[in-house]
Amino acid sequence: MLILLPMLSLLLQQIMILSDRTIKEKIKNGNIKIEPFNIDDVQPASYDLHLGNSILIFDEQKHQVIDVKEPVMDKMKRIEVKDGDPYVVMPGSFLLANIKEVTGVDNKHVGRLEGKSSLGRLGLIVHATAGFLDPGNELRMTLEIANLSPLPIKIYAGMKIAQMAFEELDTEVENPYGSKKLGSKYYGNMEVMPSSMYLNFQKTDFKKPKKPIQKR
């Protein structure tokens, strides 16, 4: 038991979320990048991020099915919203939007995108699953926004929409995001981009129909 305590203490130190003080130090040292940066957006253990101007929605009138083996860009419409202008998210609807800030981390840090509690209490979800900023990546993160409430919700370009917490890894990663061997699909994206899931199938034999099992 006495041997395990130091190991547990070391492990906890390795996965701690960065405080406001440390976030500012890491930005100054270049370990974390946030542009534009505003000191007023630093929270106790995160940084507030703002809604960008580009939105992607599915064209439901022309398309009825999403095939994960095929590109979906032709199934989506791009909408540009000026700063301060509203966009109405209908109940049950889904859209992709970008973050106004460019965020990045070096090879020893990660970022975790989280929603704002005030928006969550309205039924607005800002990321369905992909809220992770990988080591070595720098981009405008894409939000996966859904309205779970029974009423339409107005959101405004430039409003606070999410927050990002940062963590320091125990060591630098061997292969940061964007490394050639990883085939990273969203490295350095500066515009809101649709899913690139179809690329996974190009690296496999999933497209080849399997031979049916013959019964004897």
Active site residues: 144
**Distance separating alpha carbons of residues 73 and 60, to the nearest angstrom:** 13
Q: Encoding tokens for residue 87?
A: 């966009």
Q: Are 55 and 87 in contact (CB under 8 A)?
A: yes
> What residues pair up with 133 in beta bridges, in sequence order?
111
**Distance separating alpha carbons of residues 175 and 161, to the nearest angstrom:** 31
Q: Are strands 124-125 and 142-147 parallel, antiparallel or unpaired?
A: antiparallel
Torsion over CA: 130, 133, 135, 138 (sign): positive
Torsion of CA 76, 80, 84, 87, to 10 degrees: -30
Q: Encoding tokens for residue 111?
A: 């970022």
